[in-house]
Amino acid sequence: MAPKLSNSHNELLFFLILCPALIKFASSSAFVPIEEFSTVNEEESIPSIVTVRNGKIRGFRRELEPALDADKVLFEQADIFLGIPFAQPPVDKLRLERPLAASNWTGTLDATALPAPCVPQQLLTALNFDENCLQLNVMRPASAPSGDASPYQLPVLVFIHGGAFIIGGTFVEGYANISNNFVAQGIVVVTVQYRLNFLGFFTDGTERNPGNLGLWDQRQALLWVRDNIGAFGGDPNRVTVWGQSAGAASTSILALSPLTRDLFQQTIQMSGASLCPWAMNDLVRDESARTAEEIGCGMKGEQSVRDCVKRVELEDLVDAIQQLELFRLDLAMTRFNPRVDGEFVPSANLSVLFRTAPPKPTLMGFTPHEALFLTIQNPNSLLSFASPLTVSNLSEFGRDRFVKIIQRIVHLESIGRNANVREAEEEKRQILEELIQFYASEPPTNNDTAHWLKRYTLFLSDALFIMPILAEARLKAELGWPVFLHQFDHVNKGHAKLLPFPGVAHTAEYAFTLGVPLLGNYALDEEDKRVRATMAHAYGTFVKNGVPNTLNGETNWPRLGSDRRRSLQLTRIKYPNPVTETEPTDVAEKLKFWRKLSTLKGYGGMTGFTKELP
């Protein structure tokens, strides 16, 4: 059964700080329709049959519309296989259990419709979902040699969606544009789903219920890729895992965990890292207890709560989950997320995990205004509900309101967790003074409102995304990981006109890497198409060769230096070509500030800068 969620209430301040907009507004005519669980049309009806270990699969063939010029296109058709189970349905007795390998099937599996997403925490409009959701999609070049014995196998790109670990699914990326961008280059693409929110990250902190089920789902998907991707012409020894936002944090954890780090060879992390304050913490234990209480399964014992939850009807479980607040007003704000469990994440000292994990070529990126969708409403965006600031009340925003926001967000949940209350309050005061001095003291140069909105956006973007990403990138580079760092700076001209200052928000790159304009529907102009080709080519060459290449093929993106004293090199993605900057002033100043902040006594590692990390 695939029930639907009802409309939610308005307790959504800060919703989607970490979520790419994974919601389809049924009433919005401004959004390019998502291929929502649809079957193929007549033009995509040529069947394609593949045999994997579980049985035969029937997909379909489609003509590609590549983003790249003809001289860089290797394949003009793709075979698409949708909704392939990689694990047994996590229902009934398997609810809240680690995933088991998918059972074999008889006959031929119909793989022509996108799977329904896993049960979400909360949505803003009706959307089909299903607890039986552990499925993946495979897109391959139509004429690629296949079979484990094939002498020629293609590189594999596995995509893990974002959504703050509480919403999301492969319906967002679909199959058309992602295959246009990457299958055309000779890459086998896999998109995967994993359990979310309470069902994916429930824990009471015991060995019996350690949590991280969503990560175990991702591991099971990677095991399936290892065992079956050869049947699609893919090379199981040339796998790149690509994640966005929460998917990027997952990718980082997968590269560190002894249980998964040997299942793939490279990573792409966009707008997320394991060091982000929202990515991994033990506050999920409290949220699990609250949720269990809400559904009538209070924490009375390790086994009893699990047995109780297994007996709850899905509709009742969803109704109860929707009554909970989505986020804490805190930088560590996700209510359900990975945690240090002693097994999947074996150590709370992340520096140990970074130092023991085998180095992998890693492509990391972010946008300069990740939190823009939170701070200012864009009327044409699916994210327009995320901010209380509308066009009509922008003039009300100034320095005083900005300072109050900092004071509300940075509190005892963010700092001083191991100190007594008096010490924590003093540490909080020191950190607040530093933050306000750095972000709220710069005098405006023109329009006051636009100035303070931009400073507000920069503060949240730095604290939640950019500084943790840079901290992880620098640490990996010091440990010998080949790291390539980029900032996506391009913005569509029409979209830019809607904002009081030019800004590039969280998920802005989606329209160019995945073909999904989550920040509002707009037709790509010639500049946009050039940037789309730039991103597709850079990511594609990284998947194939371990180094992102410029579109003209003349120069590669620079690798981050392994010596901390060496300058930071950042490739900015813009029209007409990427530009590499050495120690860009804006980034260097912020890095210096956050390192200084991390030296204050009791600093809680808000952005990944701790004594163990750079």
DSSP codes joined into one string, 204-250: -SSSSS---HHHHHHHHHHHHHHHHGGGGTEEEEEEEEEEETHHHHH
Scanning the structure block, which residue is given the tokens 């309101």?
A: 401
How far apart (Å, rounded) are the C-alpha atoms in residues 37 and 129? 10
**pLDDT of 470 higher than 80:** yes
The two most distant CA atoms of the chain are separated, in Å, by 70
Separation in Å, CA 361 to CA 155, 264, 308, 329 = 14, 11, 44, 35
> Would residue 593 be called left, alpha or beta, if left means φ above 0 and alpha means ψ between -120 and 50 degrees?
alpha
Per-residue pLDDT averaged across 547-558, rounded?
81
| H or E element that contains 459 | helix 448-461
The predicted pLDDT at position 23 comes to: 36
| CA dihedral angle for residue 397, residue 498, residue 18, residue 263, rounded to 10 degrees | -150
How far apart (Å, rounded) are the C-alpha atoms in residues 614 and 608? 8
The predicted pLDDT at position 608 comes to: 57
pLDDT category at 603 given cuts 50, 70, 90 is: low
- Give the SS3 label for residue 166: coil
**pLDDT of 390 higher than 90:** no
Which residue has better confidence, 62 or 147?
A: 62
How far apart (Å, rounded) are the C-alpha atoms in residues 275 and 281? 10
| Helices 421-440 and 399-409: angle between axes, nearest 10 degrees | 150
pLDDT category at 380 given cuts 50, 70, 90 is: very low
**pLDDT of 370 higher than 80:** yes
Cβ atoms of 81 and 141 within 8 Å: the answer is no
The predicted pLDDT at position 391 comes to: 57
| β-sheet bridge partners, residue 232 | none
The predicted pLDDT at position 214 comes to: 98
The predicted pLDDT at position 598 comes to: 78
CB atoms within 10 A of CB 20: 32
How far apart (Å, rounded) are the C-alpha atoms in residues 78 and 56? 18
The predicted pLDDT at position 554 comes to: 64
How far apart (Å, rounded) are the C-alpha atoms in residues 67 and 18? 28
The predicted pLDDT at position 40 comes to: 52
Q: What angle do CA 337, 97, 227 make, to 5 degrees?
A: 90
- The mean-pLDDT minimum among 162-171, 174-183, 256-265, 475-484 falls in 162-171
Which residue has better confidence, 499 or 233?
A: 233
Interacting residues of 338 by C-beta distance below 8 A, sequence separation 6+: 165, 201, 211, 212, 214, 215, 249, 250, 253, 279, 280, 344, 345
| Average predicted confidence (pLDDT) for the chain | 82
**pLDDT of 611 higher than 50:** no
pLDDT category at 25 given cuts 50, 70, 90 is: very low
The predicted pLDDT at position 427 comes to: 76
Per-residue pLDDT averaged across 488-504, rounded?
79
Look up residue 310 and give its DSSP letter: H
State phi, psi for 372 to the nearest 5 degrees.
-60, -40
Which residue has better confidence, 200 or 143?
A: 200
pLDDT category at 294 given cuts 50, 70, 90 is: confident
The predicted pLDDT at position 395 comes to: 73
Q: What is the pLDDT of residues 106-137, one digit of tens each?
A: 999 999 999 999 998 866 555 688 999 999 99
Burial class of residue 584 (count of CB atoms within 10 Å of its CB; 0-12, 13-18, 19+):
middle
Q: Give all domains of the chain, ordered by start, each with its CATH number.
A: 34-360 (3.40.50.1820), 365-599 (3.40.50.1820)
Q: What is the pLDDT of residues 42-57, one digit of tens each?
A: 445 678 899 999 999 9
**Alpha carbon 583 to its chain's center:** 27
Which residue has better confidence, 18 or 59?
A: 59
Per-residue pLDDT averaged across 453-470, rounded?
91
Per-residue pLDDT averaged across 73-100, rounded?
96
Q: What is the pLDDT of residues 396-447, one digit of tens each?
A: 778 888 888 888 777 655 454 444 556 667 777 888 899 999 999 877 765 6
How far apart (Å, rounded) are the C-alpha atoms in residues 226 and 233? 12
How far apart (Å, rounded) are the C-alpha atoms in residues 9 and 122? 10
The predicted pLDDT at position 180 comes to: 95
How far apart (Å, rounded) are the C-alpha atoms in residues 492 and 498? 10
End-to-end CA distance of the chain: 49
The predicted pLDDT at position 184 comes to: 95
**pLDDT of 379 higher than 70:** no
Q: Residue 354, CB half-sphere, CA atoms under 13 Å: how many? A: 23
Q: Is cis: bond before 548, omega within 30 of 0? A: no
The predicted pLDDT at position 425 comes to: 73
Which residue has better confidence, 614 or 33?
A: 614
**pLDDT of 365 higher than 90:** yes
Which residue has better confidence, 595 or 486?
A: 486
Per-residue pLDDT averaged across 243-264, rounded?
97
How far apart (Å, rounded) are the C-alpha atoms in residues 91 and 353? 33
- Among residues 333, 363, 279, 386, which one has the least CA distance to residue 560? 363
The predicted pLDDT at position 127 comes to: 65
- Give the SS3 label for residue 500: coil
Task: Tell me the whole-structure pTM to 2 decimals.
Answer: 0.89
Which residue has better confidence, 103 or 171?
A: 103
The predicted pLDDT at position 378 comes to: 55
**pLDDT of 602 higher than 80:** no
**pLDDT of 10 higher than 70:** no
Per-residue pLDDT averaged across 381-396, rounded?
55
Per-residue pLDDT averaged across 98-107, rounded?
97
Cβ atoms of 138 and 60 within 8 Å: the answer is no
Q: What is the pLDDT of residues 170-214, one digit of tens each?
A: 988 999 999 999 999 999 999 999 999 999 999 999 999 999 999
Q: Report the length, in residues, of the chain.
A: 614
How far apart (Å, rounded) are the C-alpha atoms in residues 327 and 18? 10
Handedness of CA 534, 536, 539, 543 (dihedral sign): negative
pLDDT category at 388 given cuts 50, 70, 90 is: low
Percent of the chain past pLDDT 70, that is, above it, reads 79
